[in-house]
Amino acid sequence: MKLLRVGTAGAEKPALLDADGVLRDLSGVVDDIDGALLADDEALERVRSAGAGGGLPVLDAAGLRVGPPLARIGKVVCIGLNYHDHARETGAEPPAEPVIFFKAADTVVGPNDTVLVPRGSVKTDWEVELAVVIGRTARYVESAEAALGHVAGYAVAHDVSEREFQIERGGTWDKGKNCETFNPLGPWLVTADEVADPQDLSLRLWVNGELKQDGTTAEQIFPVGEVVRYVSQFMTLYPGDVINTGTPAGVALGQPEPKPFLRAGDVVELEIEGLGRQRQEFKDA
């Protein structure tokens, strides 16, 4: 299923994109799309049946804002340097274990919402990423194969980053990762049963129409199942938590000088095979 939330920020309603690409209103079936829904097999089956039956009200998609596909996100766990080609372009050694950092849940915005360049920023960068949405509590999961059973679905994430804040200002990466609007998510949450192999997805990103990233999740150093297993050894993952699993080569940081960091007026578009497409205009904060 392709689950999404539409409407003005803070007042989104749950929706479903059916097999014919028709947008359907789910508000008569579920209250929202959140961790509680993803953990409830019976509720998910009701949504699936309602979507297949064709009886859900049709929504007019024209001019309708698409919000993040998930409400009440618990935490956003991020994996750094998780693609072989990205590690090479930045001159970094591939890590022996996954690099973990966090984004606050309030960085998450809709897939086409405006992204703000922070005040004083000169090194705002782009990163297309596969987001994993947890559907079953994951605590000390024993194997990568078992870990995949805790995944509810997948989505497109844009891990926007400010490299000066992240790398040159001391401390942890958090200052460069948690600026407002720095995690567009969506347009859809695609349930795991519709993603045959999360290690066989193409990812692309364009800046002002120019292709910058063109990668595949096959390049991941730590595959999705291993990432979920590993993270579960250090923290409990709950339904509604999100993991951003890293970005392929092609970020501004890895390009020759002068590096083409983002400025107000730039337009970034990104997509992952089968998971939809995003478009953001950048403006000054």
Report all structural domains of the chain as residue ranges with CATH numbers, in order of start.
Answer: 2-53 (no CATH), 76-284 (3.90.850.10)
Q: Is the pLDDT of residue 87 over 90?
A: no
Read off the pLDDT band of 187 (50, 70, 90): very high
**Total H helices, total E strands in the chain:** 7, 18
Q: What is the mean pLDDT of the chain?
A: 96
Residues shown for the chain: 285
Within 8 A by CB and 6+ apart from 56, the residues are 16, 18, 24, 25, 26, 28, 29, 50
On whether the CB atoms of residues 3 and 35 are closer than 8 A, the answer is no
Predicted confidence (pLDDT) per residue in 236-252, tens digit:
999 999 999 999 999 99
Beta-carbon contacts of 81 under 8 Å, excluding residues fewer than 6 positions away, are: 87, 90, 92, 94, 95, 99, 221, 246
pLDDT of the residue at 135: 98
Backbone angles phi, psi at 108, to 5 degrees: -75, 130
What is the separation, in whole angstroms, between the first and last Cα of the chain? 36
pLDDT at 224 over 90: yes
